[in-house]
Chain A
Amino acid sequence: MAVDAQLDQKETDQGACCSDQLSEEEMALRIDEVIDTFSGVKGALIPVLQTAQNLFGYLAEPVLKKVSLRLNIPYSEVAGVVSFYSYFSTIPRGKNIVRVCLGTACYVRGGKEVLQSIQDYLGIDVGGTTDDRIFSLEIGRCFGACGLAPVVMINDHVYQRVKPSKVKDLLVPYRVSEPCGEEE
């Protein structure tokens, strides 16, 4: 589909890298260019939002308002679409996404305690992002590694048999050295 090709193109052109350094106003400017590439495309709303989500990691209010104005779609409807799909997020996400599995196996083998321990360490709730935007915390449902539960996934890396007391060791390296451009 033409729209998908464009979407991929945009991603490699500008990359997800370092997007968290853009201010929301800069994002709003950048989204103009994105919308230009969709000019005349029918049903552009969702692909534009997808591109923005990939570029910026989240959909800031100025970005969404810009989308509403440029596509001439009421802001309430743009918000309706954004809040309908869990794919979209309106709060900034960190550079590293930490997902704690709470599938059945992980849950019974201490996944919940691991989650609590990560929450305590990072000082955020599920769905939250640390103030320095280095970590976001989410829960997952089975990463297919039940044999070695409980499992935590950080970005695309799976960590098995995680102990609540050891979560700090797991997270600290990301604070300093996670290379830029890692897939979220």
Chain B
Amino acid sequence: MKITIDNITTEVEEGTTVLEAARAVNIDIPTLCYLEGMEPLGACRMCVVEVKGAKSLVASCSTPVRDGMEVSTNSARVRDARRTVMELLLSEHEGDCQLCERGADCELQELANRMGVKEIAFAGEKPAQFFDESTPALIRDTGKCIKCRRCMEVCKAVQNVGALAAQNRGYATVIGPAFAQDLDTVVCVQCGQCAAVCPVGAITERTHIPQVWQALDNPEKHVVVQTAPAIRAALGECFDYPPGTLVTGKMVSALRRLGFDGVFDTNFAADLTIMEEGTELLTRLKAVLSDKQEAALPQFTSCSPGWIKYAEHFYPEFLSNISSCKSPQQMFGAMAKTYYAEQKGIDPKDIVVVSVMPCTAKKYEAQREEMNDSGYQDVDYVLTTRELGRMIKEASIDFHKLEDDKMDSPLGLSSGAADIFANTGGVMEAALRTAYEIVTGRQLPVDNLHVTPIMGLEGVKEAALTIEKPLKEWAFLDGVELKTAVAHGLGNTSKLLDRIKAGEAEYHFIEIMTCPGGCIGGGGQPRFTTDEVRKQRIQAIYAEDEGKKLRKSHENPAIQEIYEKYLSKPLGERSHHYLHTKYIERSRV
């Protein structure tokens, strides 16, 4: 189809929207509610354009192209209409930009500036403002909400949770949980995908920055930090590096400059997770296939706290299938306040564990009541990638000029298998690298140790692996086709679970990550995460893995050491106490 936009004529496929056609020829129409790859919401009217022959302006995000269409994106009428939309939004908005979490990356502020809005002609009344500070992960501020509905769309269409929807009507509309209640009374899994797409400061993470500064300033405290694998591939974006730039070394320097007494790696605990979770899988397989005992299969991974809460609400029948392993964040916390405390001779009450996570649900996970096995809260504070970026800026550290530095041992040593925990498919691949070798004594027989069918952004992926010539102890696995599946995003997850429930699919081991793309697409990552950005971060993570000599969890010497010195063996008594947990059924509504 032919379409002319601002005198540029172009050919596009049928079904393309005017907005897509315009952006394809580098004409940027401003939008607020539009989200790439999703059904247009048509809620904000910011994207209006003039179509020749049409009486009124149309929303370009939801208007399909017609052959011969002539569109103007920059007529006086269009500019006026957009400015009116903007002024109306601003007239209802609690605009304290200097004090706002989003002061630096706010889409509303950016657009208002770009449109040259200098005054607000409508001095209107503002709807009642209220704050929802009910959850450990997120803060909602209705005074900043522009009712674009992106959050509810993502919560329902991507995450299949549906915790948010439009309540009331007209001027009194609130985008929030049922009857404008607080988030902690509903089924929200605290994944923060809503906060990741919100164009303004209406949903943000609950910050722990002040608490972390306070701990760092307290000479009595030994403050250690762990960084999740996904941080190193995204933190650079906070400092204008292109997505997919690895900044591991600079990140370590920055953390040291901030004053942490130990700079460690969640990756260490990811390797530990593989040892525990891999052994757990083999134990379950042995029970079912060899000893003819009961054990829940498939086994699901348990690293992603949003997924855990989702299962507790919506799929309690699968709770016994979820690995009892704590997530790497929590394993790290428990080991820091026991093993590390002992090695260092520090009283665990004086140790403060800070995590940097790509995730808001990790804030929730850290304060779950099961997470106090060290005798203290295992992880004290959780910063998102964005918060770490902000702290580095607050400390006036010139990130670009930092030298590369290395993590401290022993909790900073890790394998490439741990790096790929950040990507969808990565935990599975890491587990297979180790489990296959335990069972057969040989390396996983795939090119460059990558299990290609479970890499990439497809929603549900599968891989099958036939086990040949196992070691004597694992003879019962000879010829067994090990079936695995990987899902990311809770919408994809629920499709997979429903198929399993209906008996349409059978697996032994399944990896679930709450966020699209895995942790690299987490709700705490720098904004804005598109599929293109996801791909670049995923690439960077695989590069980090491939650049290491050590690429299998069981080969990590620090892991071998912790078993020798402290834990004795996977699923042993100490492991059981410190590294494993349990789940509870929660209400579905």
In Å, the complex CA distance between A82 and B589 comes to 16
Q: Given A65-B589, A75-B178, check contact A80 B162 (CB 8 Å).
A: no
Interface: B169 (CB within 8 A):
yes
Interface: B122 (CB within 8 A):
no
Q: Which chain B positions have C-beta within 8 A of A87?
A: none
Q: Which chain A positions have C-beta within 8 A of B168?
A: 83-84
Q: How far is the CB of B229 from chain A (nearest CB, A)?
A: 32
Residue with the greatest number of chain A CB neighbours at <10 A, chosen from B161, B167, B187: B167
Interface: A15 (CB within 8 A):
no
In Å, the complex CA distance between A69 and B166 comes to 19
In Å, the complex CA distance between A83 and B588 comes to 21
Contact-residue size bin, chain A (C-beta under 8 Å from the other chain) = 10 to 19
Q: Which of the residues A69, A80, A90 comes within 8 Å of B588, measured between beta carbons?
A: A69
Q: Which of the residues B152, B161, B179, B187 comes within 8 Å of A79, measured between beta carbons?
A: B179
Contact assessment for A80 and B167 in the assembled complex, using a CB-CB cutoff below 8 Å: yes
In Å, the complex CA distance between A7 and B562 comes to 68
In Å, the complex CA distance between A96 and B169 comes to 28
Q: Given A76-B162, A78-B178, check contact A83 B169 (CB 8 Å).
A: yes
Q: Write the chain A residue with the least CB distance to B164.
A: A76
Contacts of B395-411 to chain A: CB distance below 8 A: none
Q: How far is the CB of A123 from chain B (nearest CB, A)?
A: 25
Contact assessment for A83 and B167 in the assembled complex, using a CB-CB cutoff below 8 Å: yes
Q: Write the chain A residue with the least CB distance to B587.
A: A65
Q: How far is the CB of A68 from chain B (nearest CB, A)?
A: 5
Interface: B538 (CB within 8 A):
no
In Å, the complex CA distance between A76 and B178 comes to 4
Contact assessment for B186 and A84 in the assembled complex, using a CB-CB cutoff below 8 Å: no
Contact assessment for A75 and B187 in the assembled complex, using a CB-CB cutoff below 8 Å: yes
Q: How far is the CB of A112 from chain B (nearest CB, A)?
A: 24
Interface: B156 (CB within 8 A):
yes
Q: Which chain B positions have C-beta within 8 A of A82?
A: 179
Q: Given A83-B179, A90-B179, check contact A76 B588 (CB 8 Å).
A: no
Q: Given A74-B156, A75-B187, A90-B179, check contact A80 B589 (CB 8 Å).
A: no
Interface: A77 (CB within 8 A):
yes
Q: Which chain B positions have C-beta within 8 A of A65?
A: 589
In Å, the complex CA distance between A132 and B176 comes to 33
In Å, the complex CA distance between A78 and B589 comes to 11
Contacts of B370-422 to chain A: CB distance below 8 A: none
Residue with the greatest number of chain B CB neighbours at <10 A, chosen from A64, A68, A69, A75: A75
Contacts of A57-113 to chain B: CB distance below 8 A: 64-65, 68-69, 74-80, 82-84, 90
In Å, the complex CA distance between A82 and B179 comes to 9
Interface: B298 (CB within 8 A):
no
Q: How far is the CB of B272 from chain A (nearest CB, A)?
A: 37
Q: Which chain A positions have C-beta within 8 A of B588?
A: 69
Q: Which chain B positions have C-beta within 8 A of A74?
A: 156, 161-163, 165, 187
Contact assessment for A75 and B186 in the assembled complex, using a CB-CB cutoff below 8 Å: yes
In Å, the complex CA distance between A183 and B180 comes to 31
Q: How far is the CB of A66 from chain B (nearest CB, A)?
A: 9
Q: Which chain B positions have C-beta within 8 A of A76?
A: 152, 162-165, 167, 176-178, 186
Mask, B546-589, CB within 8 Å of A = 1, is 00000000000000000000000000000000000000000011
In Å, the complex CA distance between A68 and B156 comes to 14
Q: Which chain A positions have C-beta within 8 A of B179?
A: 79, 82-83, 90
Q: Which chain A positions have C-beta within 8 A of B178?
A: 64, 75-76, 78-80
Residue with the greatest number of chain B CB neighbours at <10 A, chosen from A77, A78, A80: A80
In Å, the complex CA distance between A83 and B176 comes to 12
Q: Write the chain B residue with the least CB distance to A68.
A: B589
Contact assessment for B169 and A77 in the assembled complex, using a CB-CB cutoff below 8 Å: no
Q: Which chain A positions have C-beta within 8 A of B164?
A: 76
In Å, the complex CA distance between A78 and B176 comes to 12
Q: Which chain B positions have C-beta within 8 A of A80?
A: 165-167, 178
Residue with the greatest number of chain A CB neighbours at <10 A, chosen from B162, B164, B169: B162
Q: Write the chain A residue with the least CB distance to B162.
A: A74
Q: Which chain A positions have C-beta within 8 A of B169?
A: 83-84
Contact assessment for A79 and B163 in the assembled complex, using a CB-CB cutoff below 8 Å: no
In Å, the complex CA distance between A69 and B588 comes to 8
In Å, the complex CA distance between A82 and B181 comes to 14
Q: How far is the CB of A71 from chain B (nearest CB, A)?
A: 11
Q: Write the chain A residue with the least CB distance to B181.
A: A79
In Å, the complex CA distance between A69 and B162 comes to 12
Q: Which chain B positions have C-beta within 8 A of A84?
A: 166, 168-169
Contact assessment for A69 and B167 in the assembled complex, using a CB-CB cutoff below 8 Å: no
In Å, the complex CA distance between A80 and B167 comes to 4
Q: Write the chain B residue with the least CB distance to A81.
A: B165
In Å, the complex CA distance between A80 and B162 comes to 12
Q: Which chain A positions have C-beta within 8 A of B165?
A: 74, 76-77, 79-80
Q: Which chain A positions have C-beta within 8 A of B167?
A: 76, 79-80, 83
Mask, B141-161, CB within 8 Å of A = 1, is 000000000001000100001
Q: How far is the CB of A72 from chain B (nearest CB, A)?
A: 10
Q: How far is the CB of A29 from chain B (nearest CB, A)?
A: 16
Q: How far is the CB of B32 from chain A (nearest CB, A)?
A: 21
Q: Which chain A positions have C-beta within 8 A of B163?
A: 74, 76
In Å, the complex CA distance between A83 and B162 comes to 17
In Å, the complex CA distance between A65 and B163 comes to 13
In Å, the complex CA distance between A78 and B167 comes to 9
Q: How far is the CB of B409 from chain A (nearest CB, A)?
A: 48
Q: Write the chain B residue with the least CB distance to A64.
A: B178
In Å, the complex CA distance between A77 and B153 comes to 12
Contact assessment for B166 and A75 in the assembled complex, using a CB-CB cutoff below 8 Å: no
Q: Which chain B positions have C-beta within 8 A of A64?
A: 178
In Å, the complex CA distance between A79 and B168 comes to 9
Q: How far is the CB of A127 from chain B (nearest CB, A)?
A: 15
In Å, the complex CA distance between A74 and B177 comes to 10
Q: Which chain A positions have C-beta within 8 A of B161?
A: 74
In Å, the complex CA distance between A77 and B176 comes to 10
Q: Write the chain B residue with the least CB distance to A85.
A: B169
Q: List 30 A-B contacts (CB under 8 A).
A: A64-B178, A65-B589, A68-B589, A69-B588, A74-B156, A74-B161, A74-B162, A74-B163, A74-B165, A75-B178, A75-B186, A75-B187, A75-B589, A76-B162, A76-B163, A76-B165, A76-B167, A76-B176, A76-B178, A78-B178, A79-B167, A79-B179, A80-B165, A82-B179, A83-B167, A83-B168, A83-B179, A84-B166, A84-B169, A90-B179
Q: Which residues on A are within 8 Å of B, measured CB to CB? A: 64-65, 68-69, 74-80, 82-84, 90
17 additional A-B residue pairs with CB within 8 Å, beyond A69-B589, A80-B165: A65-B589, A69-B588, A74-B156, A74-B161, A74-B163, A74-B187, A75-B178, A75-B187, A75-B589, A76-B152, A76-B164, A76-B167, A77-B165, A80-B166, A82-B179, A84-B166, A84-B168
Q: Which residues on B are within 8 Å of A, measured CB to CB? A: 152, 156, 161-169, 176-180, 186-187, 588-589
9 closest A-B pairs by CB: A74-B162, A79-B178, A76-B165, A80-B165, A65-B589, A75-B589, A77-B165, A76-B178, A75-B178
